[in-house]
Amino acid sequence: MKPPNPDGSRMILPIVFLITLLSGCTADTNCKFGGTPAKESFIPQGLGVNIHFTDPKPGEVKMIAAAGFRWVRMDFKWDATEPEPGRYDFSEYDRLMSALDESNLHALFILDYGNPLYDKGAPPRTPETRQAFARWAVAAAKHFSNRGVVWEVYNEPNHDVFWPPRPNASEYVELALAVGRAFRSEVPGEKLVGPAVSEMDFAFLETCFKAGLLDYWSGVSVHPYLRSDPEEAAVEYCRLRKLIERYRTGSGGVVPIISGEWGYSSAWRGMSEEKQGAMFAREMLTNVANEIPMSIWYDWRDDGLDPKDPEHHFGLVNNAYRAGRDPVFEPKPAYRAARTLSEFFNGYVFQQRLAAGGGDDYVLVFAKGGDRRIAAWTTSSSAHRLNIPLDQGEFRVTRHTGESAGSASAGPQGISIEVSSQPVYLKR
């Protein structure tokens, strides 16, 4: 979860994500936007959202699924599920899983935080506490086995809010190794990812890789949290992918990168609810184009009403629950952006970035069979016209929040449209 900084039916794992986790992605040779098309990564199978509850309100999970999300990420707290040494109570997560099952959603559960029963609730840094944590983690995995859960080892252990009094990569490594070995021995079929670092902490990540954690993880989870254009993450993804390649051993293929938590607060300076919606679309499109098989937006609903507190305004929907109304939460533009993206590109895979305009212009082609659909935008501060080399014909243009933007005809030189920082989508 993002730190409180004002600045800042039974299911199996879906086959498309399972294939990606097992086989990995082709690595980039140059750190440029867009990698080799990952044909396993269909939109919206990898789209997810962070939540903060185990007991959803009536209609809430249905609304999450209606936006096209297939995953939810949620803390699976040690202190809430081991009330006495060796006695585990997963009932509140049973309720959550039942609600997710009804809407065919999958869970990414974060194995996190201390327990007052051990070392007075400090992060698991002693051998005895690490082993207790690992036993609890295995018990949880056994309880929910074969239900498609992805288990994540801790949340932002490189941040002093979550690993007080100060982060220690070596301490985290010992914990993650204990969990990884226990999973391999007791629940080898369950998927484990980590380390869920705050931002792209390459020093922390490399310490994990040097220790051999890639041999236990099915994915490397990071929280990019760029305050700038999301497209800038492409270079960092490429750098991380090369670091993974350097330390990966064995014959299991490249371990994919998961964007495990990343959002934009509509209360940040220079941000608004409208711009947040555009950032949602651009973040998700950037991730798909850079071979990220799972992208978790932070977060589902606004956490509060204080207009000056950025932490209160990361949500896709407003804070107030509207009992008896449909939808049960008032959507923000970011929610409409999510629904439009998942519906417009449902079942499509990223194919290529077209050479159109300048370096600030993005024209992405997505394919499903012989059909092609386009996403186009610019990071430039000025809207401008862009000529896209497409076959002749009539194209319908849709704004990223779902409204029609009319149509445009492609002639011998392609199609000319106006692009701005808010993406538009094109289809015949």
* CA–CA separation, 200 and 118 (whole Å): 30
Q: How far apart are the first and last CA of the chain?
A: 40
Task: With cut-offs at 50, 70 and 90, classify the pLDDT of residue 38.
Answer: low
Return d(Cα 91, Cα 70) in angstroms, integer.
23
In this structure, what are the phi and psi dihedrals at residue 34, rounded to the nearest 5 degrees? Answer: 90, 130
For residues 152-159, average pLDDT: 98
pLDDT range class, residue 18, cuts 50, 70, 90: very low
Distance CA 343, CA 323 (A): 26
Do the beta carbons of residue 138 and residue 186 sit within 8 Å? yes
Which contacts qualify for 359-366: CB closer than 8 Å, 24 or more apart? 361/386, 361/419, 362/33, 362/231, 362/285, 363/388, 364/34, 364/285, 364/289, 366/43
Question: Nearest-5° angle of CA 229, CA 368, CA 353?
Answer: 35
The pLDDT of 205-215, averaged and rounded, is: 97
Instruction: Say if domain 354-427 classifies as CATH 1.10.12.10.
Output: no
Burial class (CB in 10 A: 0-12, 13-18, 19+), 161: middle
- Per-residue pLDDT of 160-180, as tens digits, reads 999 999 999 999 999 999 999
- Pick the more confident residue, 114 or 23: 114
Lowest mean pLDDT among 19-28, 30-39, 178-187: 19-28
Q: What is the average pLDDT across 205-212?
A: 98
What is the reported pLDDT for 392?
85
Report percent pLDDT > 90 for the chain: 86
Q: Between these two residues, 370 and 2, which has the higher pLDDT value?
A: 370
For residue 34, give the H/E element and its range: none
pLDDT averaged over every residue in the chain: 91
- The pLDDT assigned to 17 comes to 41
C-beta atoms surrounding 158 within 10 Å? 23
- Give yes or no for a contact between 405 and 396, defined as CB atoms under 8 angstroms apart: no
For residues 392 and 203, which has the higher predicted lDDT (pLDDT)?
203
Superfamily of domain 15-348: Glycosidases (3.20.20.80)
CA distance 182 to 328: 42
Of 175, 167, 121, 213, nearest in space to 3 by CA: 167
Q: What is the pLDDT of residues 285-318, one digit of tens each?
A: 999 999 999 999 999 999 999 999 999 999 999 9
pLDDT one-digit tens code per residue, 81-131: 999 999 999 999 999 999 999 999 999 999 999 999 999 999 999 999 999
Spell 186-214 as b/e; 16+ CB within 10 A means b.
ebeebbbbbbbbbbbbeebbebbbebebb
For residue 19, is pLDDT > 50?
A: no
Examine the pLDDT at 330 and tell me if it is beyond 90: yes
Cα(377)–Cα(391) distance, integer angstroms? 19
Q: Which residue has the higher pLDDT, 33 or 309?
A: 309
pLDDT in tens, 51-60: 999 999 999 9
* Type of residue at 266: S
Which residue intervals of the chain bear CATH 2.60.40.1180? 354-427
Q: Judging by beta carbons within 10 Å of its beta carbon (0-12, 13-18, 19+), is residue 402 exposed, middle or buried? A: middle
Residue range(s) occupied by CATH 3.20.20.80 in the chain: 15-348
